[in-house]
Amino acid sequence: MTSPIRVLLVDDQELIRLGFRMVLEAEPDIVVIGEAGDGKAAIAQSAALAPDLVLMDIRMPELDGIAATTAIVGAHPETKVLVLTTFDLDEYAFGAIRAGASGFLLKDAQRQEMLSAVRAVHRGDAALAPRITRVLLEHVGTQLGTVAVDEVADAGYRSLTEREREVFVAIGRGLTNAEIATTLYVGESTVKTHVGRILAKLGARDRIHAVILAHRLGLVGR
């Protein structure tokens, strides 16, 4: 039997943590192993509990979610971070992605959206649905200049095969591996192989970085 996804909840509002806990623990493949009300506690809990995934709020007392994400991903690269955002804090949300977060979850997300995001991030996909990707890029478009398309990425893009370019564009649109497999009529394992090669050729840190590069290269319309 597959081990459940071990989640650490981080939010300074106890009622929000309680609501998320109730939703997550109703699922047989997810277990909440701890909670934290600020960034410092999140770092300590991550070190002590080694969660698979941290559901991270951005604005908190003591230490915000950006700094906490930087610390957690730096010290525990195997731990994924899924950021909670309302999109009225664009610079903070984008900062969290630069810090190493694996995706966004809207605080007003529906139950299934949240569960899908948690599972997607855990299996290595980025939780960036096309709608969220579009909103993010509209709001932080002026900041995309901070993520330059350097010579490595540019040369890497030119070295992609035709199929890899198709997969790269799909990644830029925010599709998961399963969705790409369905769209291109190939197996999900094949898509996973393509994604790994694409990230390596682009010199991209992760899937989120690849999404940004796809938009910087003009491959995906805003």
pLDDT over threshold 90, residue 7: yes
Query: Within 10 A of 114 (CB to CB), how many other CB atoms are there?
Result: 21
Question: Tokens 């908190």 correspond to what residue?
Answer: 60
Among 30, 121, 38, which Cα is nearest to 78's? 121
Average pLDDT score over residue span 155-161: 90
Identify the residue with better confidence: 92 or 47: 47
CB 58 within 8 A of CB 84: yes
Among 32, 30, 81, 31, which Cα is nearest to 58's? 81
For the chain, where do the domains classified as CATH 3.40.50.2300 start and end? 5-127
pLDDT of res. 186 = 94
pLDDT, tens only, 127-140: 665 555 656 656 55
Identify the residue with better confidence: 109 or 114: 114
CB 163 within 8 A of CB 190: no
Question: Tokens 């664009």 correspond to what residue?
Answer: 90
CB 49 within 8 A of CB 8: yes
Average pLDDT score over residue span 8-32: 94
Mean pLDDT for the chain overall: 83
Give per-residue burial for 127-160: e unless 16+ CB within 10 Å, then b: bbbeebbbbbbebbeeebeebebeeebbebbeeb
pLDDT, tens only, 21-72: 999 999 999 999 999 999 999 999 999 999 999 999 988 888 989 999 999 9
Identify the residue with better confidence: 104 or 190: 190
pLDDT over threshold 90, residue 93: no
Domain 5-127: which CATH class? Answer: alpha beta
For the chain, where do the domains classified as CATH 1.10.10.10 start and end? 142-216
Q: How far apart are the first and last CA of the chain?
A: 42
Q: Distance between CA 147 and CA 221 in Å, rounded?
A: 17
Average pLDDT score over residue span 100-113: 82
Which CATH number is 142-216's, of 1.10.10.10, 1.20.120.530, 3.10.520.10, 3.40.50.2300? 1.10.10.10
What contacts 154, CB < 8 A, 6 or more positions away? 217
Place 146 in a pLDDT band, splitting at 50, 70 and 90. Answer: very low
